[in-house]
Structure 1
């Protein structure tokens, strides 16, 4: 018994080489600095985004902040994880015949837990359930009929497991959004988003994003009472960025109409976005989706008014330019253009100018961007130059951009 326990402990011990020197977690996307030290991409990007110009491990000054993917180490980590997962894989307590019987007759919390373990045990088991002729319809039916929050949490996990299989997304969308007997299939998602555990909330948001495939489905989801608000609540979970990212992703996919955007503005999405962007260490995906959400709501008059009236939001949008990704930067320029040029919001113009917005916009132009973003940059330069009172850009451009290191 002691030998078996030691063997299991050795099996899951993480090699030091696989740990990020910053987070000490297993690296998901290892990248190397010019010093030769490898870090997880998200950790080193956060370090550099805070303005550090040194290698955290060696404290050497970095002549370049460019990172290079360490593909060999990434492959080794993936191989190790596959073996570690196999060692920890739940023992399958049911056979395929028993799993089929559960789907047909015995759906309850204990049997669902057994079925989930069965699906996690192998890819073949997962496909067996996903491709079963009556499985998805049975899960949706039980999801609607059951009043137990634990059962709904488990069925959301089942949905998440089978959602990547061919044809499942379309079938889920059809059953949930177009039920022939008019059953309420979206209300259970609201219940899970409000009362479920953190994991179930994130997976519920992912499923809703998955089935929002076209304008008709987006409208049906956004029109369901309480659903937009429960997804918005997920974005306010400041201590859980995975929940924030899942909520924002779902809202971006679902809230495409002006009515839906106005609802989000009423809930306080602009204020929440400003708070997220001002956080000390939001993940790259969170920043990208936050700025994309601001661009989305800035497409309506109410959104431009809310953004222009929120100094923190405008200031953080300027500060985040060129500090995340090209996509986030272009979305940020679109937000600033909407409030400073399209809406001609003087308060937003003043805030952008105070945050050195003119220099940032010039840097975006200098770094290369799409033609539409370049057009918006030119208009922003005119507006911010007028606000700053600088009529001659040449010396300003040279002196203010030449000595700014790239982010």
Structure 2
């Protein structure tokens, strides 16, 4: 039996057959009975009658009257069955899948509550239906922003706990468009969750085409940069991580630069709140990404804040951040030979900081780039530090 057939059987087991409308096959929202005794969802049977039919769809008996009698007992049973408060995560996920036209918000809110509880989150992580069910909500037409935000906030912790496992299916145009709609909203929590999902989808999609699809959807790059501008470090961190995950294709790097990535990263590096956190390290990584294309190197050199910010942060964050900073400075000062960048680095005491870095436990490639930079900075410093060997003996790394 195929996977799709097994899924259909699961739905039949989870939804009592008499809860389904005989016409639409969806769970009935407003069950009403005809004079034949058969119950239908009100909207379905009204459409049937209004299009000229005078028979009962199930029995094909001619209807002496088309009066619709509310079936209150069945309505109450459906309400009790569909109440999400006491249902398990597995049942809730399958209800989402079995009622594609129903209001998903009550179930999504319960799933969201479960995702904040360690036990509930573990159940969601272990359930293979979690990602397909929540993605299915994002694929619905005419879905309200509130429901999309709830689905995104429930899905993100599941993917994070799974280390991205299952995220590759999310790199399709319809899902990404829904995630972009959430990014354009005002809920910071939802926007962070959307960026985390997009990062997972980009990181697990080995094909460059999928990364390009994600990055090229509308103004997604601009929205991620808007998230980076937020004062909350978690927002900046999520936006930067997603941008870096999307950056391997050169076309995407160029578009990031055109969208203002260099200016945004520069301003983040000089913010007091980004003194030594993860966001500062990722901002330097984004600068490194930008420096690998000519457009990015030009933007770094033209931005009056960029090089001073990189030099100022290179010894204050982490070992990884120092290596990112060296790559950027090497790209613009040594490879690109930009005079503005060289002078800005020298004014920021770049030579001294590179000397300090040379004494730290950096990688051989970083050490070679640092040596190249020392030659450039010594010339630019015009004799300010006349002997590297003599000065280095008095320097201790941070």
Give the TM-score normalised by the residue count of structure 2. Answer: 0.71
- Measure the CA separation in 1 of the matches of 2:343 and 2:190: 43
Superposition pairs of residues 311-390 of structure 1, within 5 angstroms: 311-390=304-383
Contact 2:291 2:300 in 1 (8 A): yes
The aligned counterpart of 1:268 is 260
Contact 2:301 2:307 in 1 (8 A): yes
- Measure the CA separation in 1 of the matches of 2:281 and 2:346: 23
The aligned counterpart of 2:201 is 211
Q: Number of aligned pairs?
A: 306
Cα shift at 1:227: 1.5
The aligned counterpart of 1:139 is 134
Match of 1:290 among 271, 274, 283: 283
- Measure the CA separation in 1 of the matches of 2:257 and 2:344: 21
Structure 1 residues not aligned, in runs of 5+: 1-91
Cα shift at 1:138: 3.0
| CA root-mean-square deviation | 2.4
Cα shift at 1:330: 1.0
1:255 and 2:250 aligned: no
Cα shift at 1:132: 4.4
Give deviations 1:338-363, integer Å, cap 9, x for gaps: 00000000011111111111111111
- Measure the CA separation in 2 of the matches of 1:157 and 1:227: 18
Contact 2:225 2:264 in 1 (8 A): no
The aligned counterpart of 1:148 is 144
Superposition pairs of residues 7-46 of structure 1, within 5 angstroms: none
Superposition pairs of residues 218-257 of structure 1, within 5 angstroms: 218-237=211-230, 239-257=231-249
Contact 2:104 2:137 in 1 (8 A): no
Distance 1:288 1:165, change over 3 A: closer
- Measure the CA separation in 1 of the matches of 2:354 and 2:93: 60
Distance 1:127 1:340, change over 3 A: same
Give deviations 1:208-257, integer Å, cap 9, x for gaps: 111112234322211222212211211122x2221111100000001222
Larger Rg: 2
Structure 2 residues not aligned, in runs of 5+: 1-83
Cα shift at 1:122: 5.0
- Measure the CA separation in 2 of the matches of 1:388 and 1:170: 51
